[in-house]
Amino acid sequence: MEMERGLEERLVRYAAVDTQSDEASPSAPSTERQLVLQRMLREELVGIGAAQVRLTDYGAVIATVPGTVPGAPTIALLAHVDTAPQFAAAGVKPVVHRRYDGGAIGFPDAPELRLSPVESPYLAERVGDDIVTASGGTLLGADDKAGVAIIMAVAEHLLRNPGIAHGPVRIAFTPDEEIGRGVHPDLPADLAAPVGYTLDGADRGEICYESFSADKAVVTVKGVSIHPGWAKGKLVNALHLAAKIVDTLPQATRTPETTGGREGFIHLYEMAGSAAEATLHFILRDFELDGLAGHGALLAQVAAAVAATEPRASVEVAITPQYRNMRYWLETDMRPVELARAACRDTGVEPCSEPIRGGTDGSRLTEMGVPCPNLFTGMQMIHGPLEWVSVQDMAASARMVLRLVELWGREGA
């Protein structure tokens, strides 16, 4: 129970600090407010006796729990401190609902809101648990302060119990994950660990080692601009050509709203421009590289076909890589996943692995040479007012991570 109360206390305290990131900001970290929590975490890490505690110039807090056995490999544990820009995150007032009874949970600041197994079926599995929600006007920020709380609890437990045999544990709290900038180029070197885990997953038992592979595509259409009064035979309207491209692309297949499971998509998420010039912004997603290349090829083909109807226009397609499925690296050495599965089973949790239709900091880190599966924290209904987490799920995660650290401690022996 001590573990549960400690986790709850930390989550409630961290969630109350506004740490929303901002995609429009060019700085690193993107918002000053993230540093408020980072400085708190730095102080707390020093307070519990962690070594090499520092706040980097790009806004990450990094620390070490020294190993207790020689020769054991170093592992890194990561969580992000920022919360999603998509929903109100200032003035979060966490509410703890003790021993959840299976009914509807109300929100003091939004009487019309309700959370029950109808909205979130997983809640039915957590009857009897202590459930933490926000108060109605904001998100909770369990994504990823549940992960931060779990890592802090694990670090404190290890530092208080030097009898536990383990290698060095590197801790990293990163900013700006929600805006896709969580992995600074210096992070892998600063971590100095051959393997890591993000604590940023959902349901109890979830161990994720598959993410999308992701490209971004920008189509730029240049027409011929001229005063409309004198335009006959001369104007080439970039907006008409852009609309043709959109209309020719698949709409009943290969879009986010028509795909699921292992299917990929081409997603138009922004279009802008004038008769003179228009731009279309796409994200391309697939679990396989040939599938991803196929989405890019189709987009290029459609753009070329539309361009061919108007030789005076120019249509350019620029495709840039974003991140890659971490499975490509992990399947060559499944040890990090296998040990996480063993740690789950040893602590009475059945592990499961579903591919995530998105990316994590771990996708980038894995690609940069630090294999980094994602582990469950309990967070649910993230990025909105119904966000919730079970304290007992967080405790199950912390016990599993403690076991995982011990299992890695035997690897060097």
Residues designated catalytic = 82, 177
Which of the ranges 5-13, 138-146, 185-193, 398-406 carries the binding residues for Zn ion, by CB under 5 A?
138-146
d(CA 132, CA 389): 5
CB atoms within 10 A of CB 175: 28
Residue 371, token pair as written in the block: 């294999």
Q: How far is the CB of 361 from Zn ion (least distance, A)?
A: 8
Q: Give whichever of 72 and 179 is closer to Zn ion, judged by the CB atom.
A: 179
Q: How far is the CB of 179 from Zn ion (least distance, A)?
A: 11
Determine which residue in the list 143, 156, 286, 393 makes contact with Zn ion, applying CB under 5 A: 143
Q: How far is the CB of 360 from Zn ion (least distance, A)?
A: 7
DSSP symbols for 284-329 = EEESSHHHHHHHHHHHHHHHHHHHHT-TTSEEEEEEEEEE--THHH
Pairing of strands 105-106, 114-115: antiparallel
Q: Give whichever of 155 and 375 is closer to Zn ion, judged by the CB atom.
A: 375
- Contact criterion met (CB below 8 Å) for 11 and 389: yes
Determine which residue in the list 4, 82, 129, 144 makes contact with Zn ion, applying CB under 5 A: 144
DSSP letter at 99 equals S
- Contact criterion met (CB below 8 Å) for 319 and 294: no
Which of the ranges 22-30, 136-144, 253-261, 351-359 carries the binding residues for Zn ion, by CB under 5 A?
136-144
Q: Give whichever of 241 and 370 is closer to Zn ion, judged by the CB atom.
A: 370
Q: Give whichever of 59 and 223 is closer to Zn ion, judged by the CB atom.
A: 59
Assess whether the previous peptide bond of 143 is cis (omega < 30° from 0): no
- Contact criterion met (CB below 8 Å) for 276 and 227: no
CA distances from residue 142 to 26, 134, 166 in whole angstroms, order as listed: 25, 10, 28
Which of the ranges 113-121, 142-150, 245-253, 302-310 carries the binding residues for Zn ion, by CB under 5 A?
142-150
Which of the ranges 12-20, 39-47, 193-201, 394-402 carries the binding residues for Zn ion, by CB under 5 A?
193-201
Number of residues forming the site for Zn ion (CB under 5 A):
3
Q: How far is the CB of 7 from Zn ion (least distance, A)?
A: 17
Q: Is 103 exposed, middle or buried (0-12, 13-18, 19+ CB in 10 A)?
A: exposed
Q: Give whichever of 200 and 393 is closer to Zn ion, judged by the CB atom.
A: 200
- Contact criterion met (CB below 8 Å) for 377 and 392: no
- Its sign, for the CA torsion 112, 117, 122, 124, is positive
d(CA 352, CA 376): 10
Q: Give whichever of 130 and 143 is closer to Zn ion, judged by the CB atom.
A: 143
Q: How far is the CB of 80 from Zn ion (least distance, A)?
A: 6
Q: How far is the CB of 367 from Zn ion (least distance, A)?
A: 18
Q: How far is the CB of 21 from Zn ion (least distance, A)?
A: 11
Q: Give whichever of 100 and 173 is closer to Zn ion, judged by the CB atom.
A: 173
- Contact criterion met (CB below 8 Å) for 285 and 294: no
Question: For the window 195-224, what string marks contact with Zn ion as x by the rule CB under 5 A?
Answer: -----x------------------------
Residues binding Zn ion (CB under 5 A) = 143-144, 200
